[in-house]
A and B are shown apart, each in its own frame.
Chain A
Amino acid sequence: MVHALMCVGATNEPHSAELGAVAIAKDMLDAFYLLLALVFFAGCWVFTKACDRL
């Protein structure tokens, strides 16, 4: 979704420079940071279970 919006110049980066491979790389950055956060929160649940078993 973010990539699609970037391509119409809707997000923060000037769209003309963001097309093609650069835009895909930026998309992957969004995925990277979102995934990182989700992995962290999943880790929090594992940590909760570990604390419960302590």
Chain B
Amino acid sequence: MVEREAAGLGLELPSELVSALCPTGSLSRSMTPLGAFNIAIFFLAILALTKPLGLYMTRVFEGQRTFLHPLLRPLEKLLYRLCGVREDTEQRWTEYAASLIAFSVASFVLVYVIQRLQGLLPLNPMHFGSAQAPSNATRVTPDLAFNTAASFVTNTNWQSYGGENTFSYLVQMAALTVQNFASAAAGVAASVALIRGLARRQANTLGCFWVDLVRSTLYLFLPLSLAAALFLCWQGVIQNFKPYTTVKTLEGITQTIAQGPVASQEAIKIVGTNGGGFFNTNSAHPFENPTPLTNFVEMLMIFVIPAGLTYQFGRMVGDTRQGWALFAAMSVLFLIGAFICYGAEQSGNPELAQLGVDTHATALQPGGNMEGKEVRFGIAASALFAVVTTDASCGAVNSMHDSYTPIGGLIPLFNMQLGEVVFGGVGAGLKGMLLFAILAVFVAGLMVGRTPEYIGKKIEQKEVKLCMLALIIMAANVLVFTAISSVAGFQKNGYWNPPGPAVANVNNPGPHGFSEILYAYTSTNANNGSAFAGLNANTPWYNLTLGVAILVGRFLFIIPMLGVAGSLAAKKRIPATSGTLPTHGALFVGLLIGTVMIVGALTYFPALSLGPLVEHFLMLEGKLFAALRAPVWG
């Protein structure tokens, strides 16, 4: 039974297959065959879904008829009429960016105000934001409202609070869940604009932001999240408006069980790669992710749209091999990360083994490092979720990354530092990978002395400058804020950081504590939103700086990439010659992976050396960095 659960699929495998894959007591210390099978079957499922969804998305964004048109087309037209949008209007890239910014400003102000006024608004059975709120409720201060508004408007969903003891049902639905749809749709829209930039010839426009926003919401996110919500309800995820239930446990202790409209938020949280949990423990909570099957489907839903976008890219530029080349590069990076992370977690902590603890996987125990992981998922499905959620810009977690081994924790961190280009978030990953593709052909062009080309477009000074600008801003955003927070001193019990210096908020000393700070700024910059945990981030200093990091990470990346799209759209397509580097073959895939790894390694290696790398070597020497105190949340 344990072995079956370890597969993370909730499937009843034949006992002969189980014993063949996992002979009792003889499993490898670093990986079990069923764990590897779990990762492989997940990848095959993504591979199978990429083309059908990519084809569907191509039809949606090219304005062609889909099977949902009879139902949704009248609603789409009505929305255009109500908002005064002309469907045939096209925008220059600067107008497209201005629309995105204007939409984000309005969303930000709305989310901020709803949070601050939640005590006045309905659907608040726990009276959050009023004098009758529970004594352990988190106050929504201006800095927390700023951080949360920035976070949800940008598809980040970093949470400096615990959802169940902070926000009313109305805030969770009208502010946060609405933004889960809107921010994801805006991200996809920006990606589609970039694809159009590569696909169009001598054009001045990239499409219309408002039309792309409406189409991605109506045709993509609504149907998928509706199906996902129904599936989750079937599996046991709750959906109600009840006040929290108070029960007496068998030990006689009073326990409050949070309720709420969870399934609807959970669905778009996953489909839109948002990641903000209804509950503080996110997808580790049994009301959000109750079974191994929901876990598998949630991972699938995180990756399916980003994977489909690669095929859509190939279709729209007129050569599906280009899309598959990006898919191949992403797949290689994904599989490397998944197996390293899983291997590290299954190997566990050697210090425990030296104390005589059996850390081998057997028929009766998962072995390895189970700290911070849910028994119903096991090690493989937890490590895979950690890799998936940080390859994409999702940020949902089903285990606590802070409890991972140093190398196990390094992989999610490095995934985000690479720019989440491995499938990535809805839209974000494709933009990042196209940035690296442009850099890869630029590097190749330098090597052979030819003007670089990509998809028949000459890559010239302006595109390279914009790509480098985006890369440098992203790196500076992480490293500068991490460096400042590692040394910033504040008066104890002052306004900015009541615990004292910024490092006083970490839960562990030494390199692990540094990793907690580095992870926070990496996650917010990448608009991922997952927390390493172990950092009490609900203070004005962290809310402000993490909020700014979120905004910079979103907009100062998208704007240069839209600039690249605008610049490329205006160019004519030149025919390939014998000197053109083919960008659909294995050579280019290798070059692309190399560019991603080298840029990531050069930028972040020093910081990683101070965190998880040195922690790993110290662990091998027998030195661990235990928690200073129990985590204190807001």
Complex interface residues of chain A between 3 and 54 (CB less than 8 A to chain B): 5, 9-15, 26, 29-30, 32-34, 36-38, 40-41, 44-45, 47-49, 51-52, 54
Q: Which of B101, B146, B150, B465 contacts A48 (CB 8 A)?
A: B101
Question: Is there contact, CB below 8 Å, between B101 and A44?
Answer: yes
Task: Tell me whether B149 is interfacial, beta carbon within 8 Å.
Answer: yes
Task: Tell me whether B118 is interfacial, beta carbon within 8 Å.
Answer: yes
Contacts of A36 in B (CB 8 A): 146, 544, 548
Given A9-B130, A15-B131, A49-B94: A33 touches B142 (CB 8 Å cut-off): yes
Complex-state Cα separation, A40 to B133, whole angstroms: 33
Complex-state Cα separation, A37 to B560, whole angstroms: 20
Task: Tell me whether B98 is interfacial, beta carbon within 8 Å.
Answer: yes
Count contacts between A and B, CB distance < 8 Å.
97
Q: Which of A32, A37, A45, A52 contacts B149 (CB 8 A)?
A: A37
Nearest residue (CB) in A for B149 is: A37
Question: Is there contact, CB below 8 Å, between A13 and B94?
Answer: no
Q: Is the interface of A mostly helix, strand, loop or mixed?
A: helix
Shortest Cβ distance from B44 into chain A, in angstroms? 41
Complex-state Cα separation, A45 to B555, whole angstroms: 10
Complex-state Cα separation, A40 to B149, whole angstroms: 14
Complex-state Cα separation, A26 to B583, whole angstroms: 56
Task: Tell me whether B609 is interfacial, beta carbon within 8 Å.
Answer: no
Question: Is there contact, CB below 8 Å, between B141 and A51?
Answer: no
Question: Is there contact, CB below 8 Å, between B98 and A45?
Answer: yes
Q: Which of A2, A30, A40 has the most CB of B within 10 A?
A: A40
Shortest Cβ distance from B474 into chain A, in angstroms? 14
Question: Is there contact, CB below 8 Å, between A11 and B116?
Answer: yes
7 nearest interchain CB pairs?
A33-B146, A51-B563, A29-B142, A12-B129, A10-B120, A48-B97, A12-B139
Complex-state Cα separation, A9 to B132, whole angstroms: 10
Q: Which of A12, A32, A44 contacts B119 (CB 8 A)?
A: A12
Q: Which of A5, A9, A12, A52 has the most CB of B within 10 A?
A: A12
Question: Is there contact, CB below 8 Å, between B118 and A12?
Answer: yes
Contacts of A47 in B (CB 8 A): 555-556, 559
Complex-state Cα separation, A25 to B129, whole angstroms: 19
Shortest Cβ distance from A35 into chain B, in angstroms? 11
Nearest residue (CB) in B for A32 is: B142
Complex-state Cα separation, A45 to B141, whole angstroms: 28
Task: Tell me whether B436 is interfacial, beta carbon within 8 Å.
Answer: no
Q: Which residues of A are interface residues toward B (Cβ below 8 A)?
A: 2, 5, 9-15, 26, 29-30, 32-34, 36-38, 40-41, 44-45, 47-49, 51-52, 54
- 10 more A-B contacts (CB under 8 A) besides A11-B117, A12-B118, A15-B131? A10-B129, A11-B120, A29-B141, A33-B142, A34-B109, A37-B105, A38-B105, A44-B555, A48-B94, A54-B465
7 pairs, CB–CB < 8 Å, chain A vs chain B:
A9-B130, A11-B116, A33-B143, A34-B109, A41-B108, A48-B97, A51-B563
Given A5-B120, A41-B101: A48 touches B559 (CB 8 Å cut-off): yes
Task: Tell me whether B56 is interfacial, beta carbon within 8 Å.
Answer: no
Given A34-B109, A41-B105, A52-B563: A11 touches B119 (CB 8 Å cut-off): yes
Contacts of A12 in B (CB 8 A): 116, 118-119, 128-130, 133, 139-141
Complex-state Cα separation, A40 to B109, whole angstroms: 13
Question: B119-161, CB under 8 A of A: which get 1 and which 0?
Answer: 1100000001111010000011111011001100000000000
Question: Is there contact, CB below 8 Å, between B130 and A37?
Answer: no
Nearest residue (CB) in A for B564 is: A51
Shortest Cβ distance from A32 into chain B, in angstroms? 7
Q: Which of B101, B130, B133 contacts A45 (CB 8 A)?
A: B101
Nearest residue (CB) in A for B555 is: A44
Complex-state Cα separation, A15 to B466, whole angstroms: 50
Task: Tell me whether B551 is interfacial, beta carbon within 8 Å.
Answer: yes
Complex-state Cα separation, A52 to B559, whole angstroms: 10
Shortest Cβ distance from B425 into chain A, in angstroms? 19
Complex-state Cα separation, A51 to B140, whole angstroms: 37
Contacts of B131 in A (CB 8 A): 9, 14-15
Complex-state Cα separation, A26 to B139, whole angstroms: 13
Complex interface residues of chain B between 464 and 478 (CB less than 8 A to chain A): 465-466, 469
Complex-state Cα separation, A31 to B465, whole angstroms: 36
Contacts of B139 in A (CB 8 A): 12-13
Complex-state Cα separation, A51 to B308, whole angstroms: 30
Question: Is there contact, CB below 8 Å, between A10 and B560?
Answer: no
Question: Is there contact, CB below 8 Å, between B142 and A37?
Answer: no
